[in-house]
């Protein structure tokens, strides 16, 4: 049995993917889940949230070991194979597979192998390469007995993200309440559907190929990429922008999500508050965010010693409640715990 993979995806940057993954991975670990978090965005912002610059410098430049996602896939560019990753132990229950800016150089190889994986023969190597991210995170998760794998990715529909999505069992879509996020959603729904279908064809091709007999050990991801809902960010609201403008976009999200992502008819008007696909609305955490970044902690773990006093202390408390509730809800949706999965509270 493979370890479930969850990713956050929107074809639009700055919608809070990395911040959400960072906070959720901490909260999952507080809730006693063993978590592997993999940074497969060549921007490596998630890695920078967990580790100091000196630590990253050491990982990128001084050690020959396979301690970034890129170092694990690099031999595939030649004639070599995947290398078992070395993980960064963040806490007892939380491990990081660091990102790497060099990963973008793997994009071309992934693009080239995509058509090759539909050939009549020699399918093993292309499929091994296209599923490399899944193979690596599964090896890593098994090594630490992780129950869930969270993967951070960049905001585009390129070959790296296609390979990550193929590796994903579940997808959450973080949204901003603006035209650009909504437009991103319209492109993303059909892309997910097409990747899912094209991967299913590749699995079928492999099943019916002679190559499978020579490599019975090759396990491949199912490519489920099941959308389990969206999160709507309030923080993108510019204070100068009228509330009406925010509302206008917010109220369009339920219909666009249903149509573009679930392929369902936009069944009349659904207010976001009543939409079962809206997992939660993410608050604007204002000055807690830079304070937490400074102390390299999630906002809900800030203490008075970090400067979280007075109204900040109350905000920390309520952020902890928000993230605990959100984590339990997501865990419920992916079968990691039992929890009611109704509309956003």
Ligand X SMILES: Nc1ncnc2c1ncn2[C@@H]1O[C@H](COP(=O)(O)OP(=O)(O)O)[C@@H](O)[C@H]1O
Binding site for ligand X (CB under 6 A): 13-19, 45, 235, 282-285, 289
235 binds, among ligand X, Mg ion, none (CB under 5 to 8 A by kind): ligand X
Of all residues in this chain, which one has the CB nearest to Mg ion in the complex? 18
Q: How far is the CB of 192 from Mg ion (least distance, A)?
A: 18
- Phi and psi for 188 in degrees, rounded to 5? -70, -40
Q: How far is the CB of 264 from Mg ion (least distance, A)?
A: 29
Nearer to Mg ion, 20 or 35 (CB): 20
Here the tokens at position 229 are 């809902």
Dihedral, 289, 294, 299, 301 alpha carbons, nearest 10: -170
Nearer to Mg ion, 46 or 253 (CB): 46
11 binds, among ligand X, Mg ion, none (CB under 5 to 8 A by kind): none
Nearer to ligand X, 235 or 246 (CB): 235
- Phi and psi for 46 in degrees, rounded to 5? -65, -40
Q: Largest Cα–Cα distance in the chain?
A: 68
15 binds, among Mg ion, ligand X, none (CB under 5 to 8 A by kind): ligand X
Size of the site for Mg ion (CB under 5 A): 3
Nearer to ligand X, 14 or 307 (CB): 14
Pair 51, 59: CB distance under 8 Å: yes
Q: Which segment (16-24, 110-118, 122-130, 171-179) binds Mg ion by CB under 5 A?
A: 16-24
Exposed (0-12), middle (13-18) or buried (19+): which is 120, by Cβ within 10 Å? Answer: exposed
The neighbour count for residue 41, using CB atoms within 10 Å, is 28
231 binds, among ligand X, Mg ion, none (CB under 5 to 8 A by kind): none
In whole angstroms, how far apart are CA 237 and each of 87, 187, 232, 272, 282?
37, 23, 11, 16, 12
What three-state secondary structure class fits 308? coil
29 binds, among Mg ion, ligand X, none (CB under 5 to 8 A by kind): none
Dihedral, 252, 253, 254, 257 alpha carbons, nearest 10: 130
Nearer to ligand X, 81 or 294 (CB): 294
90 binds, among ligand X, Mg ion, none (CB under 5 to 8 A by kind): none
Q: Does 45 bind Mg ion (CB under 5 A)?
A: yes
Q: Does 251 bind Mg ion (CB under 5 A)?
A: no
Is residue 109 within a helix (H) or strand (E), and if so which, with residue range?
Answer: helix 107-116
d(CA 152, CA 44): 9
Residues 57-86 as b or e (16 or more Cβ within 10 Å = b): eebbeeeeebbbbbbbbbebeeeeebbebb
Nearer to ligand X, 125 or 297 (CB): 297
230 binds, among Mg ion, ligand X, none (CB under 5 to 8 A by kind): none
Q: How far is the CB of 123 from ligand X (least distance, A)?
A: 34
209 binds, among ligand X, Mg ion, none (CB under 5 to 8 A by kind): none
What three-state secondary structure class fits 225? coil
Q: How far is the CB of 42 from ligand X (least distance, A)?
A: 13
Q: Does 18 bind Mg ion (CB under 5 A)?
A: yes
Nearer to ligand X, 19 or 67 (CB): 19
Point out which residues bind Mg ion (CB under 5 A): 17-18, 45
């Amino acid at each position: 049995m493979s370890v479930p993979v969850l990713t956050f995806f929107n074809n639009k940057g700055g919608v809070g993917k990395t911040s959400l993954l960072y906070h959720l991975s901490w909260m999952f670990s507080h809730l006693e889940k063993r978590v592997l978090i993999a940074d497969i965005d060549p921007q490596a912002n998630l890695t920078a949230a967990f580790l100091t610059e000196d630590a990253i410098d050491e990982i990128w430049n001084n050690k020959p070991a396979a301690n970034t996602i890129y170092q694990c896939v690099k031999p595939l560019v030649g004639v070599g194979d995947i290398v078992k990753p070395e993980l960064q132990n963040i806490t007892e229950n939380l491990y990081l597979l660091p990102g790497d800016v060099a990963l973008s150089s793997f994009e071309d190889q992934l693009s080239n192998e995509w058509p090759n994986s539909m050939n009549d023969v020699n399918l093993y190597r292309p499929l091994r390469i296209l599923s490399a991210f899944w193979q690596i995170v599964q090896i890593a998760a098994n090594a630490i007995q992780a129950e869930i794998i969270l993967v951070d990715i960049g905001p585009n529909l390129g070959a790296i993200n296609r390979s990550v999505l193929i590796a994903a069992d579940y997808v959450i879509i973080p949204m901003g309440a603006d035209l650009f996020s909504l437009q991103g959603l319209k492109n993303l729904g059909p892309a997910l559907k097409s990747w899912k279908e094209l991967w299913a064809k590749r699995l079928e091709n492999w099943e019916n190929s002679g190559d499978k007999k020579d490599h019975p050990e090759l396990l491949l991801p199912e490519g489920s990429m099941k959308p389990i809902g969206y999160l709507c960010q309030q923080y993108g609201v510019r204070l100068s922008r009228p509330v009406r403008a925010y509302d206008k976009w917010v109220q369009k999200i339920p219909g666009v999500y249903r149509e573009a992502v679930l392929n369902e008819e936009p069944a009349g008007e659904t207010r976001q508050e009543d939409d079962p696909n809206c997992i939660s609305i993410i608050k604007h955490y204002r000055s807690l965010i830079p304070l937490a970044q400074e102390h390299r902690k999630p906002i809900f773990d800030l203490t008075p010693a970090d400067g979280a006093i007075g109204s900040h202390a109350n905000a920390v408390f309520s952020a902890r409640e928000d993230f605990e509730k959100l984590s339990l809800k997501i865990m419920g949706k992916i079968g990691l715990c039992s929890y009611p999965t109704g509309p956003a509270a």
